[in-house]
Structure 1
Amino acid sequence: MDTKDSRNQFSRSLLRAIQEASPDGILVVDQHSQVISYNQRFLEVWQMEEQCRPDEQAMCQSLSEEPLLDSALRKLKNPDAFLQRIQELYDNPTLHDHAEIELNDGRTLDRHSTGLFDDQNNYLGRVWFFRDITRQKLNEALLQDLAWRDPLTGTMTRGYFLERAEEELQRAERYGHTLAVIILDVDHFKEVNDRYGHYAGDRVLVILCQRWLEAIRNNDLLGRIGGEEFTILLPQSDLQTALQTAERVRSITASQPVHSDGIDINCTVSCGVAMLDNNQNDSVKDALKRADNALYSAKKLGRNRVEQFSGVL
């Protein structure tokens, strides 16, 4: 074997070793969309039947890409977008690609692709990398949910509520809609914990939030901003609608005891209502301050009531 053949064989063996050691599924095609090589991981990631014997993978010069592509398209949630992007990449070899693609079986694949060029910048083909990132995506979703959802009540956390509320305020400013905010505080909640225990207190908050969610619209936002303090944002609502919603929440709370371990726990809630002025550079935090001021008035006037903000902070 001459030196050139020896080097070529060494290069092929090295390529095979690198491919099989890679955690990514790898597919290499030439400028005519003929498959040059792929590794075992590529077949596993795509859950495909092997197209040629493993020891011949680096030599599959005549294998068309079409069978592999057809098999992949049947597994995709959005095959048209996938096919369109492939065509874009083949039409413009200089493009690099990085995307996440969803499969019908619920898995998510991370996809990278780049063109291959020789020293004279002649296009030689393209290499594709695929990695199953389903577990990573699930963990990210879990962490995101922990950041967004109060672990006890399932309502929005303070931070996420403020984020969503700012988005709604921007939308209201864009389209000239009105926004209202309600702050709710469970009356004498410390006495509930002291008398019935913290488990019962937690049960009260969970049940009350469930009832409040049923009493408001689907596009209204409910968040927990303190221990027993909550807030509701009402997009596209005037003051009258906000007062009616707050009264509905107050009435439901007062009229339906929470049942816990054979005990009926009676609760009431005080509510403060304020509007957001989308024409005066108003902010969500400013509106919450006004609603909190109205809540203070409701408590000062005897609790279990709804008050609206009137005056200047």
Structure 2
Amino acid sequence: MTVLIIAEHNNQQLNHATLHAVTAAAKLGDVHVLVAGNGAAAVAEQAKQVAGVTKVLLADAPHYAEGLAEELAPLVVSVAGDYSHIGATATAFGKNLLPRVAALLDCSQISDLTEVVDAHTFVRPIYAGNAFATVKSAEPKLVLTFRATAFDAAPANGGSAAVETVAAAAPQNLSRFVGRELTQSDRPELTQAKVIVSGGRALGSAEQFNAVLLPLADKLNAAIGASRAAVDAGYAPNDYQVGQTGKVVAPELYIAVGISGAIQHLAGMQDSKVIVAINKDPEAAIFNVADYGLVADLFTAVPELVAALNG
């Protein structure tokens, strides 16, 4: 069997999330990667060096520059014929593109996979991650999205795949790119960080969110996360949100500060290797998943922790 993975990139750099999808796809058979972009030859060069990739398809055209799902879907369909599985990482990119691909191919999509059992059997979370379902499909072609935190990233070097140019599909002109607002930060990217310091509504304001969490994050070289309640209250930007409707993370260390532990949040971080919770409510649900819990006032405990780290 041969699997086609749709690469996520910015026309210059292959997104690290795609490496996780390659690892998952390798459990199914040979892995080919489709790079669709505008002036994206450098991305194809990076993709061909990924261990486990046997071929890279490059489609280069102006209407692929921004990765619009409406433009990419017909291209994927045009090259899908020989592939048993078509996949991507379950990021915003993959979640946006692949349902459209599945509809055009008239085949099933199985989403957010955490385990590949065999070519037709997969495990995925349900009920906000409180249970896992084993799903089996006998269809000859399947569309899949893989949860990045469930699979190790494939080595970025070691491969020597061939690069093949494929024809671009005709422009669809169903949508247009207007603009992109990105949060600039010197911190590690949230989904790739080894340490995350995350804050909740108990911090009280955006000013206190930054004043309490930033010194700790600086000391640990950590990414900053937030609960949905903190984001909704305006304490942190949307791309800091960890949870079912935010980003799913699995760092080596996750420090939850003033987070109660709603199911929505736990679904996004419960696979972290070590979870530390700081909350003054001893009955907070976050303590049920924490490896270490501190019942204390966060406004006292976190500065004391920072001082101890400085000492």
Shorter-chain TM-score: what band? under 0.3
**TM-score, length of structure 2 as denominator length:** 0.23
Greater relative contact order, per chain length (Cα 8 Å cut-off, separation 6+)? 2
Q: Name the larger-Rg structure.
A: 1
**TM-score, length of structure 1 as denominator length:** 0.23
Compare the two structures and name the one with the higher helix fraction: 1
